[in-house]
Amino acid sequence: MSDPDHNNPFASVRFQTVEEDFVGQRLDNYLLRILKGVPKSRIYRLLRKGEVRVNKGRAKPDRRLEVGDQIRIPPIRVADREASNSPGSQLQQRLVDSIIFEDDALLIINKPSGIAVHGGSGVSFGVIEGFRAQRPNSRYLELVHRLDRDTSGCLMLAKSRAVLMQIQRAMQANAVKKYYAALVKGHWDKGKSTINAPLKKNQLSSGERMVRVDPTGKPSVSHFKVIKRFQSASMLEVLLETGRTHQIRVHTQFAEQPIAGDAKYGDRSFNEQLRACGLKRLFLHASRLEFCHPISGDRIEVEAPLPKELRATVEALS
């Protein structure tokens, strides 16, 4: 008779000692990283029940870890399907092919549209799970920032906790320049170079997350430059001063010139018009990153070429 726990790596008690790379990380994020294949809901249930112990005591999901912390992880029953579930080789290869910059500190990819940055909300796997599966011996790999699932372009990952914290501090100080290419409805006025409108997240009764301009929201600033005008649309370069969820999409909607192909914040008739030009996705692309390297201090500029499907739309409009 076969042992049901034979293929379950989480069948017995495990003890983890927190190393320097993970100092300051939240306990829940640490567990999500090391318990690959365990559903997120299962991990939060273990935390809620106090079955995960840190230094022999109960700990909340948002507890920040310190070097030397001893984490006790109880036995976890995982269905074979869940335990063996991992990002497929096709996703892993797409991610490898998308790398545009890599050194000992950072990994930057030209993220394809349609791939989430991480699993959740109906998506089993994203960029971070794909790279961790592709590089099982990597000591550390974390997202520095995020992109919407439908947005393509420059996405940065850190290879150490120290690098992650340094780059994120630089972002908060507006020392990392993030440029985007966006195609919007109508003729954008050159004088409309900055939109300063606070944004607030709302959740609809359906559970869908929406962002709105709201005076009680977080400060949000986007800078716009016209690159090219077409008969019914404008190509813009957008520089973010803040990095709020859906910021460019909501700011352009607020200006009554939404992004082409945006099913959530866009204009349906404009989207249909662009679909006739071959556009089947959101026309928003994180085109360039400029920053000081966290280790060497060198000025780094990384550019992600416009994907071929977006280039084809531009050619059709021209």
- Residues serving a catalytic function are 148
Q: What is the DSSP string of 171-191?
A: HHTT-SEEEEEEEEES---TT
Q: What are 289's strand-pairing partners? A: 178, 302
Residues 184, 310 within the same domain? yes
Q: What is the per-residue pLDDT for 170?
A: 95
In the chain, how many domains are there? 3
Q: What is the per-residue pLDDT for 98?
A: 96
pTM, entire model: 0.78
For 12, 157, 170, the CA distances from 177, given in Å and listed in that order, are: 47, 16, 10
- How many degrees, rounded to 5, is the angle at CA 286 between CA 187 and CA 106? 165
Among 310, 132, 121, CA closest to 233: 310
1 falls within a domain: no
Q: What is the per-residue pLDDT for 191?
A: 84
Residues 69, 100 within the same domain? no
Maximum alpha-carbon separation in the chain: 75
Average pLDDT score over the chain = 89
pLDDT tens string 194-207: 999 999 988 776 66
Residues 283, 309 within the same domain? yes
Q: What share of the chain is helix, strand, coil (3-state, %, to 5)?
A: 25, 30, 45
170 falls within a domain: no
Q: What is the per-residue pLDDT for 82?
A: 45
Residue 81 or residue 57, greater confidence: 57
Q: What is the per-residue pLDDT for 23?
A: 84
Q: What is the per-residue pLDDT for 115?
A: 93
Q: Containing domain of residue 112, as a range?
A: 86-158
The enclosing domain of 113 has a CATH number of 3.30.2350.10
Q: Is the pLDDT of residue 146 over 60?
A: yes
Q: What is the per-residue pLDDT for 85?
A: 61
Residues 274, 311 within the same domain? yes
pLDDT tens string 205-251: 666 788 999 999 999 999 999 999 999 999 999 999 998 999 999 99
Q: Is the pLDDT of residue 12 over 90?
A: no
Distance CA 318, CA 258 (A): 20
6 falls within a domain: no
Q: What is the per-residue pLDDT for 188?
A: 95
Query: What share of the chain has pLDDT > 90, as a percent?
Result: 65
pLDDT tens string 64-104: 999 899 999 998 875 533 444 677 888 889 999 999 999 99
